[in-house]
Structure 1
């Protein structure tokens, strides 16, 4: 059963399921499609009857991404159009715990590290830099430069400490080593802007990219001359890509064509297309606690929690 939360006047940019609380979701949203106006950070709980607001905050500028702390179940970080990162506490209805404003343009991506033994946040900005932060956001630990376009996506490797991937308007996917503050690999992945990247949860060498050219490409970082898989079907820009935490070959993408698509990238084939939004679909996440359940958000002012047929228990299509 699909559950829908409506947030009038707020257009969804990103959703992420809590790593601690199975039914909890954070959503970053903006007024006026993020072009002008303020933003909203919503913390939502799935209930038996629907979706309820646990906490919501307004911000003076649009909010474009959100990430949960991997160390504290109450803490989230959001990235804003004013160049700020905000550290919020869901148990505190007031102002953010901290606001860090070092970026000079929109912060379009934030991600909290997942490997054991480190606790870091990475941000990607339209100022063409990525910054790595301590979890209190007291100050950035390092600033990484190399992209020649805006950075749309920054994602930590779930396997390799101190390593993250970034995707940019310059058409490259880059792999960074934080300790040496260096770009280890630059892949000319698309001939158009890349809006999203993600790491495979099962293989440290596999990364996916989603582009304005409507394609999703899957790369083996050991040989980047050409993608190991090119997934075609979206009619407009691919806004976000996410690998399944439960099925090694399953990948999801959402797009400006109003759809969410599920793929078996190993067999290079589509599994399912979900068409339940009436505007750009910008945010997507798998629920780590609930195999098969996913959440997405759209510019049509809704957040939707559902289980697509291809991921449901007993599905014959499930990629292995």
Structure 2
């Protein structure tokens, strides 16, 4: 029986979680009042303990918060994206206010991500204003603005392999791959006939990207041949809010959905669905794998909870990692 450690955040509906790249027991979560439709947002920093999940620090923001990313160079620093079009730079050592606020986007910032490739220290943001922006870590002003999507941008994720390259997913149904040195879109994939809410890169193969859509499917793409997906993962009954590849296996990924479930997949198998976790009573919006502890997962939902657990399908011996 799978057990989860639970943190409750009353009147705050979870939108995104990310495990620290430095501290194996530390998680950042962004949440919003009133399901993000109105009200303010809260950024939570949580630590998993032997008995549960403890609050380290929290900050209020004047608008909903929709995504969060940890610095890859400083264990105390995070960036969050807000409903007011802002990115805020937060420091766990500074209890009062953000270190900096950058407000160039004209609508909600729904995606933020910190680059992971060596010798590069950049942030990318994606907004409902249909633009993606690349920033230096001080958030002084954006370095470049990328246009091309014809719908809301829901997801922007750096390639873990290729410097200066990120993927974006949009309400226009396309997955796009961008080269920031050329400030150009290198590839536009008509990946779904519906809005795409999430994308993620495989940690083991620079050519593999997954997309999660309102059409209830996860598609796995090989960027060298995008005429059709490598696999189409079916099982969710409502929109897929987020997809994440495992850091410990080249073919395992997770997805969370408005159907209240988190599903685990191995796209190399004929029967790719490994497990369905049903432990939330509302939309599941945030999802991440722990980079330090194999097969440990954290998620958050609109039911005001953050949960940390190891799904049975990934626990010792249940699945061979690549």
1:290 maps to which residue? 293
1:311 to 302, 314, 320: 314
Within a 5 Å distance, the mapping from 1:168-207 to structure 2 comes to 168-207=170-209
2:144 to 126, 142, 145: 142
Cα deviation for residue 52 of structure 1 reads 0.5
Contact 1:20 1:73 in 2 (8 A): yes
1:24 maps to which residue? 26
Cα deviation for residue 66 of structure 1 reads 0.1
Cα deviation for residue 214 of structure 1 reads 0.1
In the aligned structure 2, how far is the partner of 1:193 from the partner of 1:101? 26
2:162 maps to which residue? 160
1:35 maps to which residue? 37
Q: Which runs of 5+ in 1 are unaligned?
A: none
Q: Which runs of 5+ in 2 are unaligned?
A: none
Contact 1:264 1:319 in 2 (8 A): no
1:248 maps to which residue? 250
1:91 maps to which residue? 93
Describe the SS at the equivalent of 2:15: strand
2:121 maps to which residue? 119
Describe the SS at the equivalent of 1:33: helix
Contact 2:287 2:300 in 1 (8 A): yes
In the aligned structure 2, how far is the partner of 1:207 from the partner of 1:287? 19
CA distances 1:128-164 after superposition (whole Å, capped 9, x unpaired): 0000000000000000000000000000000000000
Cα deviation for residue 319 of structure 1 reads 5.2
Contact 1:310 1:318 in 2 (8 A): no
What TM-score, normalized by structure 1, do the two folds share?
0.99
CA RMSD of aligned residues (A): 0.7
In the aligned structure 2, how far is the partner of 1:247 from the partner of 1:158? 14
What TM-score, normalized by structure 2, do the two folds share?
0.98
Cα deviation for residue 318 of structure 1 reads 3.8
Moved over 2 A (4+): 317-320
1:100 maps to which residue? 102
